[in-house]
Amino acid sequence: MTSDHELRAAPSATARDRTFPEVSARIDRLPSSRWHAARRLLLGSVTFIAGFDQLLIAYALPLMRAEWQLGPGELTACVMSGAIGGLIGGPLIGMLADRFGRTRLVLVTTTLTGLSSLLIALSPGVGVFCALRAIQGIGIGGEIRSAAILMAELAGRGKRGRAVLLYELAFPAGLTFAAVASIALPVIGWRPLYLIGAIPLFLIYPIYRLMPESPRWLAVHGQSERALAVVERIERAVAESTGRPLDPPQFDGTAAPTGRARARDLFSRRYLRRSVTTSVMWFGGFFVNYGLTTWLPTIYLNVYHLSLSQALWYTLITSAAGLCGSFAAAAYVDRIGRKKTLLAGFAIGGALLVPLALIAGSGAVQVLIWSTLSAAFIFAANITMYVYSAEVFPARFRAAASSVVGTWSAVGILLGPVVVSGLLGLGATTAVVFGVLALVGLGTAAIALLCEETAGRPLEEAAG
């Protein structure tokens, strides 16, 4: 039997032109099912560990500083290295996913993430640690975006936002787990926690066996017979899991994408506005997110002189609030729409930081309250970006486009902590820090006003 991951020779363009509209219509009418839930759980397990790996550095940093006698520049390098990896790897992984398939790249990036995490736990010094974190960043950024595209292309139109965001909830859940696990840091140290990041290595074979390639990608690449065969298998599985026959597909006149994907398509008249708005929102949301959460433990320790245990508990509360906000976004994003979710998340999240900028001498408890409330809304907006970015670009370059614009999240992850570190290093008060984060959040909300609504529309129509 031929594996879903083996490529076949491409049939004629005529066959592709017939197949792509049929494949799109048949997938768009699929209801949510246990089949979808099982695949979300499988990919979500990898993404859960990716989220854990991403934020673990924030909690490990104080112990690493003591172990290796790190200065401010080396501490910043430890934080920045993962974001640099994501910055380099995001566009590369996206282009490869458009060329070689979504599932293949999920497998590659899962392997990369697991191996790098295993080696990080054995790092002999800060240089090796930073190099491995950069490699890990490539894997994390590539996996979460390739998997998000795959989930969007397998989901029906009515619950597509919920399907993608339920999968993406694994990432903030992993962030929260990092906060929970950090409680053990004073006892076991930071190295054993990085071993957890190797768990995805055990999921490579189940992903290979159970995750189909996207039928939309197969149809775009002329593999009509294989695309139809995959759709038929999915339809049988969904009908069996729901216990009722599927609705007939509604053909909406979607045409097969034509022409080769080119980088300049992102800046064409048709897609320029989408490229700019999504890039700015990725940057702004993650600038605030990581500028806030990465340095909160250190701020609690050095500015408010809390104990390490208390600082970690306070940060855990903030991360848990972010997870709750992400759950809320997943529950309501199909009902209230992508645009309103993004606008509310960035605007309210930014506004909730304003009191910390205006109240002189804010105490640790005030920081806890306002930053926690803000995190709930910022996390909600950030997680919504994964489904929105997958919906506003066509199948022929969806992964590359989503990864290129999503790379601005890596810039935000990189610059947010750097700017906060720079401000604190220059002697700025926490009021200045929170004022900068508030302005970025509110500015991002202004850009969200330019978004197009994509909820409830067939995927290729929304991307047209």
Could you tell me which residue, 160 or 55, shows the higher pLDDT? 160
233 contacts: CB under 8 Å, gap ≥ 6:
212
| Overall average pLDDT of the 212-237 stretch | 93
Q: How far apart are CA 79 and CA 391, in angstroms?
A: 31
pLDDT at 443: 97
Q: What is the pLDDT of residues 344-380, one digit of tens each?
A: 999 999 999 999 888 756 688 888 999 999 999 999 9
328 contacts: CB under 8 Å, gap ≥ 6:
376, 380
Query: Among residues of the chain, what percentage have pLDDT more than 90?
Result: 45
**Amino acid at the residue 240:** E
**Amino acid at the residue 4:** D
pLDDT at 430: 84
| Helix, strand, coil content of the chain in percent (nearest 5) | 80, 0, 20
Q: How far apart are CA 226 and CA 202, in angstroms?
A: 28
pLDDT over 90 (residue 298):
no
Q: What is the pLDDT of residues 241-274, one digit of tens each?
A: 888 888 888 776 555 555 555 666 777 778 889 9
pLDDT at 91: 83
Sign of the alpha-carbon torsion through 391, 394, 398, 403: negative
Q: How far apart are CA 413 and CA 284, in angstroms?
A: 9
Question: Tokens standing for 430?
Answer: 């926490």
Write down the mean pLDDT value for the chain.
87
Residue with token string 């099912």: 33
pLDDT over 80 (residue 39):
yes
Contact assessment for residue 257 and residue 20, using Cβ atoms and an 8 Å cutoff: yes
Q: What is the pLDDT of residues 94-153, one digit of tens each?
A: 889 988 999 999 999 999 999 999 999 999 999 999 999 999 999 998 898 899 899 999
Question: Tokens standing for 284?
Answer: 């702004």
Q: How far apart are CA 27 and CA 9, in angstroms?
A: 24
**Amino acid at the residue 334:** D
pLDDT band at 2 (very low <50, low <70, confident <90, very high): very low
Q: How far apart are CA 185 and CA 195, in angstroms?
A: 13
Q: Which helix (H) or strand (E) holds 48?
A: helix 34-68
Contact assessment for residue 271 and residue 278, using Cβ atoms and an 8 Å cutoff: no
Question: Tokens standing for 305?
Answer: 């002189």
Q: Which helix (H) or strand (E) holds 222?
A: none
pLDDT band at 10 (very low <50, low <70, confident <90, very high): very low
Contact assessment for residue 36 and residue 154, using Cβ atoms and an 8 Å cutoff: yes
Q: Which domains does the chain have, with CATH numbers?
A: 13-246+263-462 (1.20.1250.20)
Contact assessment for residue 452 and residue 464, using Cβ atoms and an 8 Å cutoff: no
* Closest to 314 in 3D by CA, of 291, 325, 298, 326: 298
Rg (CA), the chain: 22
Kindly state the greatest CA–CA separation across the chain.
69
Q: How far apart are CA 183 and CA 289, in angstroms?
A: 21
Burial zone of 1 (CB within 10 Å; 0-12 exposed, 13-18 middle, 19+ buried): exposed
| Overall average pLDDT of the 413-428 stretch | 86
Q: How far apart are CA 258 and CA 219, in angstroms?
A: 11
Q: What is the reported pTM?
A: 0.81
What DSSP character marks residue 123?
-
